Amino acid sequence: MSASTPFPYAISARGPLRGALTVPGDKSISHRSLMFAGLAVGESRIEGLLEGEDVLATAAAMRAMGARIERDADGVWHVWGVGVGGLLQPETALEMGNSGTSTRLLMGLVASHGITATFTGDASLSKRPMGRVIEPLSAMGAEFTSSPGGRLPLTMRGLNPGVPIEYVLPVASAQVKSAVLLAGLNTPGITRVIEPVPTRDHSERMLAGFGAELTIEETAQGRIISIRGEAELKPQQITVPGDPSSAAFWLVAASIVPGSDVTIANVGLNPTRTGIITALRMMGADIAEFDSRTVGGEPVADLRVRHAPLSAIEVPPDLAPSMIDEYPALFVAAAFAQGRTVARGAEELRVKESDRIAAMAAALGANGVALEEYEDGLAITGSRGEPIPGGAQVASKLDHRIAMSMTVAGLAAKAEVSIDDAAPVATSYPGFFQTLDHLTGRNEPA
């Protein structure tokens, strides 16, 4: 399944989900492992890399800028880096597909190298704003020529040496934070990012693991992350944990389908990523953790989730940064809860792969779910655990999380839910539908 070839998909109730599975490697960590290894001197080895289209776009871009990247027959990736400051001029435009993470973080890398790069993307990515990254990187000396509204296609010229800055994040965004820190890697002096609201910290953990001189200070202003430039990164052995964003779909599916009992192995439980587990447990979800451990500096555990009646909650807005990608799945859980769930404080959903607030409001509403749409979220009146009506077609809006979330909703609908195009699922979870078939007894896992 390629995200460029439309893939209509229809789903109806199948009964309980049962069994064990692993989810793909964490997408955020996979992107960063390729980039940081590509800047190290020597060979890094990466196990468990997510091989979805977004991460492959990052690999292709790093190859285009000089890194040698190979995958062996066992699925282990080997990266020989060019060293900080060693990125080469790409001969053609860097095609980012649907990946906002690839685009924004690679813009940070290019910003402090004396090269010019053009970034292009698909129709969905080309609608997403890049101004939030352009602003701080321009202050560091990079120059940009973008499409109207600071969008792709976009050409940037890096500056070497760049100018170190102190930057206060105006919105909670790990991508913007990471872009500035990556630009700081090859910038003389100290570059600082101040985040008033903590966001996922994979960049900080991994940069420190690769040998960057990085400090984190908690202050009244917020968290101050400082990085010393002209760094020398050392190659690493990386094991990528399972992606909690991918696990979220099975956590919700097993929670809403009676009789379900699912175990998900090797899930990354970085505290900046576990908001969805916190919210589901607040609703009454039966989620247990086993074999908690640390892998590559990241906390990991196996999760067992069993069907349980869910109750409506008011989702704490301060959970938003730690579950921003999981709101579509949470909205589905709310559709089956008892009472009215209010989930607000998530304006960032408006500028994801799609406008996820509008897309999920339209999708759930068309399938018989009562809801109210706000600028920053939704209020959803649940079905008290009963099947929702279903019976409508969903527009995925080229968004993998809309497609997967509404597939989960279809598992507990009275009538078939159809999705106009589920092909974007390949960007983050190529085996999603095969895993669904396995858990519902349709086939054995590959």
For the chain, give every domain's residue range: 9-25+241-439, 27-238
- 128 marked as binding residue: yes
- 356 marked as binding residue: yes
Residue 3 has pLDDT above 70, yes or no: no
Average pLDDT value for residue range 93-104: 94
- Residue 276 has a pLDDT of 97
Q: Specify the CATH architecture of the domain 27-238.
A: Alpha-beta prism (3.65)
- Residue 427 has a pLDDT of 87
CATH superfamily of 9-25+241-439: Enolpyruvate transferase domain (3.65.10.10)
Please, which residues have CB within 8 angstroms of residue 291's CB and are 6 or more apart in sequence?
Answer: 301, 302
Residue 48 has pLDDT above 50, yes or no: yes
Give me the catalytic one of 54, 243, 325, 399.
325
Average pLDDT value for residue range 31-45: 97
- Residue 63 has a pLDDT of 98
- Residue 75 has a pLDDT of 94
Confidence grade of residue 128 (pLDDT, cut at 50, 70, 90): confident
- Residue 350 has a pLDDT of 87
Residue 444 has pLDDT above 80, yes or no: no
CA distance 446 to 430: 12
Question: Is 421 among the catalytic positions?
Answer: no
Same fold yes or no, 9-25+241-439 and 27-238: yes
Report the candidate in 290, 286, 291, 283 with the shortest Cα–Cα distance to residue 314.
283
C-alpha neighbours within 13 Å on the C-beta side of residue 245: 25
Overall residue count recorded for the chain in this entry = 446
Least confident of 38-52, 201-215, 302-316, 430-444: 430-444
User: Which residue is associated with the tokens 């349709």?
Assistant: 442
- 281 marked as binding residue: no
- Residue 4 has a pLDDT of 62
- Residue 445 has a pLDDT of 47
- 421 marked as binding residue: no
- Residue 356 has a pLDDT of 95
Please, which residues have CB within 8 angstroms of residue 275's CB and are 6 or more apart in sequence?
Answer: 319, 320, 321, 322, 323, 326
Retrieve residue 312's tokens: 């409506």
Residue 191 has pLDDT above 50, yes or no: yes
- 340 marked as binding residue: no
Q: What is the pTM of this model?
A: 0.85
Average pLDDT value for residue range 72-81: 96
- 178 marked as binding residue: no
Burial class (CB in 10 A: 0-12, 13-18, 19+), 446: exposed
- Residue 172 has a pLDDT of 85
- 401 marked as binding residue: yes
Average pLDDT value for residue range 173-196: 96
